[in-house]
């Protein structure tokens, strides 16, 4: 009996010790953040720039995600990825970030629901229509806002998280959206929590696009930067406070003083987005039926050539182009609108290998010129960002362009040029365009000395001035800008806005976030053929397998228990 009492006491002590150890371990590990990402592509591991941004979040940040409720399975997968990454953000920010998923269709009152929809749309969230089960065996159309509102210290920024490119499948759009989640959210958090905001400027004074024509891109850039406009006026240092400048489709040639100021700005490490073309085509005149395309030098040719690039005075024609509507006369002398391809408006192909252009839609161009890279300076890295399609050609001015060309039969064999460069990124150390020149007389300052070699910097040159211009609606009596890149007939949003925003973000980026846009997540889908062929096999394994494991474990436990207590009984008998 004494031995049995000792065994009983020992079991009680072991039980108490085990419970105490579990409680202690639970308390200890609840204070230790320990996570292991076992995925091959590290999809649950935040990058170093993202973690650094999240560590600098001082106050509470709240995210409202409008991706909730009944929706197709791919969107549910996107929702799950959003939740996972927000959980990671919450942990990395020491719980400064909180979030809530909201279903805007839960509101029963139609007027209130529509008011919320309009509010979300006005704030910048883009809705989509999806087919969902209606609970009665049928399907109904439902509006979903796949986006979020990030709130911090009274500031609210919208984030659209669903890529919607018509070039790829629905599944690929979802995958691309998941790949871009960390960048989209981290970039927004970096902007909304920054102590200071970078300044960028649109250059004026050379008949560049006026404010209404760049209203859409200005609004979208203002989410990340302070956006100014102004003339250079030949004033040294006038650009020094700006992180980047944008030269948007100038029509008047630059004077030497303004060229020098831009050159010295670049020599001091400034970034520039050149959007210019060497051929002038009047859209207003073309609307009357025809216009003459003329060579229009801007006096920046020598400057760009020194930096390593040349805009060629030629116009692209491409079989992969925008559809337009033109009026034609019928036999009854009545005019009828028909849809036809307009080869002068190519749908430019983004590079899939660079973070600026990865996973963006085709970019709409209008009377696009071409670009050549020149020089062999090893200090300058040159990357092609946009090209024509594989079925393109060029024409050289002066040339008459007529709307009636849209009716002509196209000789497809003549479109025999492929992937002609249209936009180029230049990175490295540049030589001044004013090297070995007397610069003091240019700006009336004899003591001025030009810097002849730049700090490491970067610039982007785009050979299409219209790529940044939004269309305007005059029908309501006021000038209303259309979204940049929107097709007026189909409503499709091209990649123009994403391209320009990414260009400026890449130029200004000093924390390495843009590299996140190169992240690739591999889809590991089940083999549908094997699913159909081996369905019964795997169903049997999934159902019988767990039961067999539990049964086997129970048998082993009972066997071990019997042996243990059989030994105790034998000891008690021998002791007695």
CATH code of the domain in which 125 resides:
3.40.30
Q: Where are the alpha helices (DSSP H) in 193-274?
A: 215-221, 256-267
319 close to 415: Cβ distance less than 8 angstroms: yes
| 288 and 246 within one domain | yes
Q: Is residue 39 part of a domain?
A: no
| 506 and 465 within one domain | yes
CATH number at residue 295: 3.40.50
**pLDDT tens digits for 30-42?**
665 555 655 555 5
| 270 and 162 within one domain | no
Q: Number of structural domains, the chain?
A: 4
What percentage of the chain reaches a pLDDT higher than 70?
Answer: 86
User: Which domain, by its residues, includes 301?
Assistant: 198-312+368-386+418-517
| 129 and 270 within one domain | no
Q: Which two tokens stand for residue 286?
A: 């073309």
**pLDDT tens digits for 505-554?**
999 986 677 776 666 555 555 666 777 777 788 788 888 888 888 888 87
Mean pLDDT of the region 251-272:
96
| 481 and 508 within one domain | yes
Handedness of CA 226, 230, 233, 234 (dihedral sign): positive
**pLDDT tens digits for 219-258?**
999 988 999 999 999 899 999 999 999 999 999 999 999 9
Q: Is residue 356 part of a domain?
A: no
| 530 and 511 within one domain | no
Rounded-to-integer distance, Cα 458 and Cα 225, Å: 18
| 497 and 374 within one domain | yes
| 550 and 497 within one domain | no
CA angle centred on 263, ends 259 and 266, rounded to 5°: 145
Rounded-to-integer distance, Cα 27 and Cα 523, Å: 38
pLDDT of 456 higher than 80: yes
| 138 and 5 within one domain | no
Q: Is residue 257 part of a domain?
A: yes
pLDDT of 294 higher than 90: yes
pLDDT of residue 526: 61
Phi, psi dihedral angles at 186 (to 5 degrees): -65, -40
Q: Is residue 16 part of a domain?
A: yes
Mean pLDDT of the region 269-274:
97
104 close to 71: Cβ distance less than 8 angstroms: no
Q: Is residue 89 part of a domain?
A: yes
| 253 and 210 within one domain | yes
pLDDT of residue 522: 55
Mean pLDDT of the region 446-451:
87
Among 92-101, 410-419, 509-518, the range scoring the smallest mean pLDDT is: 509-518
Tell me the pLDDT band of 86, cut-offs 50, 70 and 90. very high
Rounded-to-integer distance, Cα 473 and Cα 431, Å: 44
Q: Which two tokens stand for residue 570?
A: 């034998």
Mean pLDDT rounded to a whole number for the chain = 86
Q: Is residue 62 part of a domain?
A: yes
| 172 and 157 within one domain | yes
Q: Which two tokens stand for residue 557?
A: 């436990």
Among 111-115, 211-215, 550-554, the range scoring the smallest mean pLDDT is: 550-554
Q: Is residue 572 part of a domain?
A: yes
Tell me the pLDDT band of 200, cut-offs 50, 70 and 90. very high
pLDDT of residue 539: 80
| 226 and 174 within one domain | no
Mean pLDDT of the region 18-40:
67
């Amino acid at each position: 009996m004494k031995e049995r009492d000792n065994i009983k006491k020992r079991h009680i002590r072991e039980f108490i010790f085990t419970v105490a150890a579990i409680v202690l371990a639970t308390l200890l590990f609840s204070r230790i953040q320990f996570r292991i990402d076992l995925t091959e592509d590290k999809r649950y591991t935040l990058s170093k720039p993202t973690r650094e941004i999240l560590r600098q979040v001082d106050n509470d940040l709240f995210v409202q995600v409008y991706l909730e409720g009944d929706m197709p399975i791919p969107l549910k997968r996107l929702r799950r990825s959003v939740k996972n990454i927000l959980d990671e953000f919450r942990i990395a920010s020491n719980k400064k970030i909180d979030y809530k998923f909201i279903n805007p269709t839960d509101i029963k009152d139609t007027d209130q629901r529509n008011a919320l929809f309009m509010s979300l749309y006005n704030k910048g969230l883009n809705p989509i229509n999806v087919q969902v089960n209606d609970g009665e065996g049928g399907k109904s159309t439902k509006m979903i806002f796949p986006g979020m509102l990030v709130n911090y210290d009274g500031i609210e920024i919208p984030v659209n998280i669903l890529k919607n490119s018509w070039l790829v499948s629905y599944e690929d759009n979802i995958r691309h959206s998941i790949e871009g989640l960390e960048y989209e959210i981290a970039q927004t958090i970096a902007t909304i929590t920054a102590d200071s905001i970078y300044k960028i400027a649109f250059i004026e004074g050379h008949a560049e696009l006026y404010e209404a024509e760049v209203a859409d891109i200005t609004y979208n850039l203002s989410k990340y930067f302070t956006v100014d406009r102004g003339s250079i006026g030949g004033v040294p240092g006038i650009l020094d406070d700006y992180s980047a400048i944008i030269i948007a489709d100038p029509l008047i040639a630059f004077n030497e003083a303004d060229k020098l100021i831009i050159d010295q700005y670049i020599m001091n490490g400034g970034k520039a987005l050149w959007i210019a073309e060497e051929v002038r085509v009047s859209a207003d005149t073309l609307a009357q039926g025809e216009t003459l395309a003329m060579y229009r030098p801007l006096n920046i040719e020598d400057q760009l050539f020194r930096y390593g690039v040349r805009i060629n005075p030629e116009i692209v024609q491409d079989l992969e182009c925008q559809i337009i509507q033109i009026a034609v006369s019928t036999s009854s002398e009545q005019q009828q609108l028909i849809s036809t391809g307009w080869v002068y408006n190519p749908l430019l192909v983004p590079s899939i290998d660079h973070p600026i252009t990865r996973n963006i839609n085709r970019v709409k161009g209008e009377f696009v010129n071409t670009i050549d890279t020149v020089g062999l300076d090893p200090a300058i890295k040159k990357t092609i960002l946009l090209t024509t399609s594989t079925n393109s050609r060029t024409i050289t001015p002066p040339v008459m362009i007529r709307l009636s060309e849209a009716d002509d039969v196209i000789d497809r064999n003549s479109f025999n040029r492929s992937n002609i460069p249209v936009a180029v990124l230049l990175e490295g150390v540049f030589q001044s365009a004013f090297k070995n020149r007397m610069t003091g007389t240019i700006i009336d300052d004899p003591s001025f000395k030009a810097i002849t070699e730049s700090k490491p910097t970067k610039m982007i040159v785009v050979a299409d001035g219209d790529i940044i211009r939004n269309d305007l609606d005059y029908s309501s009596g006021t000038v209303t800008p259309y979204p940049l890149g929107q097709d007026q007939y189909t409503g499709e949003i091209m990649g123009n806005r994403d391209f320009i925003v990414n260009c400026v973000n890449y130029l200004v980026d000093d924390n390495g976030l843009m590299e996140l846009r190169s992240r690739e997540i591999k889809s590991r889908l089940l083999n549908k053929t094997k699913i159909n062929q081996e369905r019964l096999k795997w169903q049997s394994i999934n159902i019988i397998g767990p039961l067999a494991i539990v049964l086997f474990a129970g048998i082993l436990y009972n066997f071990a228990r019997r042996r243990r207590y059989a030994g105790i009984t034998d000891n008690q008998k021998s002791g007695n």
